[in-house]
Structure 1
Amino acid sequence: MTLRTTLACALALSCTTVLADDGAIRRATALAQDAIIVDTHIDAPGILSETWADLGEAAPDREFDWPRARQGGLDIAFMSIYTSAREDSEGKARQSAHAQIDSIEALVHRHSDRFAILTSPADVERLRAGGRVLLPLGMENGAPLGDDLSQVQAFFDRGIRYITLAHSAANRLADSSYGAERQWNGLSPFGREVVAEMNRLGIMVDVSHISDAAAAQAIELSTVPVIASHSAFRHFTPGFERNISDELALAIARRGGVVQVPFGTAFVNAQAAADMQARFRARAEFDARNAELAAAGQPTQDVAAFEAAWDRDHPTPTTPLSAVLDQIDHGVRLLGVDHVGLGSDFDGVGGELAQGLRSVADFPNLVDGLLSRGHSEADVRKILGGNLLRVWREVEAGAARR
């Protein structure tokens, strides 16, 4: 196939080039529009809290908005309620999480004909009538829970339906895959309580970002299937613990769970993954040195200068859409087609995305790639969202049995 611009460009907010002929992209677009597409990780809320944009209209500086979601066939977009390790250490994580949920509620209130908050897969068909894009909420980093188990219920009541136990540093629940030192050697005692409470309420346990030991313990402890909401396969990025190992992926699948593949260059490109791991370690050393300087009453080094120098010395490698397709193919071969899905990380990786997957308008490009590699339409539907919805229903059923 050769690069060409399709008729879809005339209808798009910005022209998208795709690897397909006209007949193939028409087939892929039709399937994307007909299937239920679920993306388990879009970082719109954090950006909304910093700089408001009306995502019910065209928002060209973002990767998610309603017009492009409809163009791409996206039906269910998990909004990532992300809080940083710094917000956790400063005691601001809980407030930040509530503010981000408020921003999504405001968006839905502003455009009730275009968006609805989704809290159960049982409501999908009813709520998506009329072309709504449904917005379930996932908490990326369990830091807002603090050390208060009652906060799991409080955030469930606000709509949270998965919790990524930790992010870029250990918290009160679990160790992070990025941490050079491991505080808990897996889950903390409180983290174990949180997993049990999530099972009781019907919140999906998310093992993306956490250490291998923490992920293994969470998978074993959970009485229902778990997810990796946005984790590529470490098979392609050796030594990059942020991506999931084949062993852990198999453990997820054996318990009925699903691995959701992201589109970010840093996850699907080996050089970019190595650079990201190195960046976290270098930044940790930089911060530790600054803490020493501050304690000694000496001037600290400039953080912005550090970041600028890193970006200059580590340019983002160009990554083709085929890198994402390779990830999905590996997952299907390893786990079976019932255990692979999509968690793009749109609006969360600074635009560093595989070619042809630059916004929510581009799901037909992914569908075309899967079809061209021989995946059946029935299997593509599973990957696009059927698998995640099955897991979510099983998690709900597990809570109902308790």
Structure 2
Amino acid sequence: MELKNKITQTLTLTGIALFTSLLTSYSYAIEVSDKAHKLAQENIIVDTHIDVPYRLNDKWEDVTKATQGGDFDYTRAKKGGLNAPFMSIYIPATLDNSPQSTALADKLIDYMEAIVGRAPNKFAIAKSVDDVKQQFKKGLISLPLGMENGSPIQGDLANLKHFYDRGIRYITLAHSQSNHISDSSYDLRRQWKGLSPFGKDLIKEMNNLGIMVDISHVSDAAFYQAIKLTKTPVIASHSSLRQFTPGFERNMDNKMIKALGKNGGVIQINFGSTFVTKRANAWSKKRSAEQKAVEEKFGKDSEQYKNFRKSFAEKNPLPFASLDSVLDHIDHVVKLIGIDHVGIGSDYDGVGDSLPTDLKDVSTYPNLIQGLLNRGYSDQDIIKILNGNLLRVWQINEDYAAKH
């Protein structure tokens, strides 16, 4: 009745345009069964990309307790069943080719160790598949680490070993700009036409150490070169599908997904609305273009530039994706290459307020599970999506390193 009244009032007062906006923003809560909650609580849930470290670098919050901000804290993680979130050691591309990138990576890892130090009864750093499994049995939330942007390696394989020793278990080769390792999907400059000579050597050494190669963010050419060079399965730690966002190179197209399947790898689906639907992606491109125009006209220090995003969002509300939109991406991967190659890479704390309805923070994994149940996925298949596929790839990387 409440929704009906809102619709009637909207139509009467403001017409069809605002009615469409209301439908877009209205959150239709999914009804979650006891079975979905049980699957969430009784199984490991691996999410390969959560940006807590950089969030805490901007503004420290004690995530060992409930927090007002962000998408992650201990209370919400326990509610959602999340127990193996890869903490993203994110390094902005603006720090590429500077010692600050390496220093920041160490600082963000320090933050994660500080969280464990604050609450060793709640969290533990995880450096192996076995760590995750043993910590799950103890009721702890594992904190494996992934590095988003290989900039801190600085062209020195000794740095790679340093970060391996500190717990890094995947590296996203580049971020928003071409770096000394790889070209980026976001950067029109393709200085290496894929991977740099050092990048090719780096992949070999990552294999030897047991660090998973993450091809999210890289250019298509870099992806194919990485697939050809690697001796182990790769991951896309937080990517979605170009099928639903045509022209958005940051996502993977069908040919790439099939190559990933042949490699034995796994794509971890990004939840961000702009990664998931064509409409939200178009909104993001429009915002970027208008923001660039404001920057060129008024400069980055201007009030117009500083207030641009807030003003744009007020005039152009983001058309949020839905839980069904995310499920469509999972379905598509399964149809193309099978159930063994898809998982979760939400990008919580990394995509701002663009998260879909029913997937707004780490308490909502049961919603995703219920959606999978509603689409006919078996318990066994859901468990593969929650943890089995990623842990398989991680274990293969560990096993290869043990022999080399």
TM over 0.5: yes
TM-score where L is the length of structure 2: 0.88
CA distance in 1, matches of 2:292, 2:153: 24
Q: Do the aligned partners of 1:113 and 1:130 also contact (CA within 8 Å) in 2?
A: no
1 CA distance for matches of 2:216 and 2:283? 19
What is the Cα deviation at residue 368 of structure 1?
Answer: 0.2
CA contact (8 A) 1:42 1:77 kept: yes
Matched, 1:344 2:346: yes
Q: How does 1:354-365 map to 2 (within 5 A)?
A: 354-365=356-367
Partner of 2:270: 262
In structure 1, what residue type is equivalent to 2:355? L
Q: Does 1:146 align with 2:154?
A: yes
Aligned partner of 1:216: which letter? Y
C-alpha contact 2:97 2:154 (8 A) present in aligned 1: no
Structure 1 stretches lacking a partner, 5+ long: 4-15, 291-298
- The aligned residue for residue 402 of structure 2 is 400
2:84 corresponds to which of 76, 79, 84 = 76
**Gaps spanning 5+ residues in structure 2: where?**
4-26
Match of 1:315 in 2: 317
Task: Select between 264-273 and 95-104 the one with higher mean Cα deviation.
Answer: 264-273
Give how far 1:125 is off.
2.6
Q: 1:130 to 1:301 in 2, by over 3 A?
A: closer
Aligned counterpart for 1:18 among listed residues 22, 25, 29: 29
Separation (CA, whole Å) in 1 of partners of 2:300 and 2:57: 28
Aligned to 2:21: none
Aligned to 2:11: none
Q: Could you tell me which amino acid in structure 2 is paired with residue 306 of structure 1?
A: Y
Query: What whole-Å deviation, never above 9, does each CA across 1:255-301 have from its counterpart, x for those lacking one?
Result: 110000011111102122234456567767887x69xxxxxxxx945
Q: 1:236 is aligned with what amino acid?
A: F
Per-residue deviation at 1:122? Answer: 1.5
- CA shift in 2, pair 1:370/1:153, >3 Å: same
User: Within 2, Cα distance between the matches of 1:367 and 1:124?
Assistant: 21
Paired residue type of 1:302: D
Counterpart pick for 1:109 among 114, 117, 125: 117
Q: Which moved more, 1:192-201 or 1:307-316?
A: 307-316
* 1:204 partnered with 2:204: no
Q: Distance in 2 between matches of 1:285 and 1:153?
A: 43
* 1:59 Cα offset (Å): 1.1
1:9 corresponds to: none
Using the alignment, how far apart are the partners of 1:335 and 1:277 within structure 2? 30
CA distance in 2, matches of 1:181, 1:99: 30
Counterpart residue type for residue 360 of structure 2: R
Q: Counterparts of 2:280 and 2:357 in 1: how far apart (Å)?
A: 14
Q: Distance in 1 between matches of 2:285 and 2:196?
A: 24
User: Residues 180 and 281 of structure 1 are in contact (CA less than 8 Å); yes or no, is this contact kept in structure 2?
Assistant: no
Letter in 1 for 2:115: L
Aligned equivalent of 1:123: 131
Structure 1 window deviating more from structure 2 (86-95 vs 258-267): it is 86-95
* Residue pair 1:240, 1:274 contacting (<8 A) in 2 also: no
Equivalent AA in structure 1 for residue 397 of structure 2: V
Give the conservation status (yes or no) of the 8 Å contact 2:49–2:88. yes
Corresponding residue for residue 222 of structure 1: 230
Moved more, 389-398 or 56-65: 56-65
User: TM-score of the superposition, structure 1-length normalised?
Assistant: 0.89
Among residues 124, 131, 135, which one is paired with 2:143 in the alignment?
A: 135
Q: 1:318 offset after TM fit, Å?
A: 2.1
Amino acid in the other structure paired with 2:378: S
Q: Secondary structure at the match of 1:18?
A: coil
Stretch moving more, 80-89 or 336-345: 80-89
The equivalent of 2:375 in structure 1 is 373
Residues 370 and 395 of structure 1: is their aligned pair in 2 closer, same or farther, counting only changes over 3 Å? Answer: same
Whole-angstrom CA distance in 1 between matches of 2:46 and 2:273: 20
Change (3 A) 1:366 1:193: same
What is the identity, as a one-letter code, of the residue corresponding to 2:308? Answer: A
2:103 counterpart residue number = 95
Alignment length, in residue pairs?
376
For the residue of structure 2 that corresponds to 1:168, the secondary structure is coil
Distance apart, 1:314 and its partner CA:
4.9
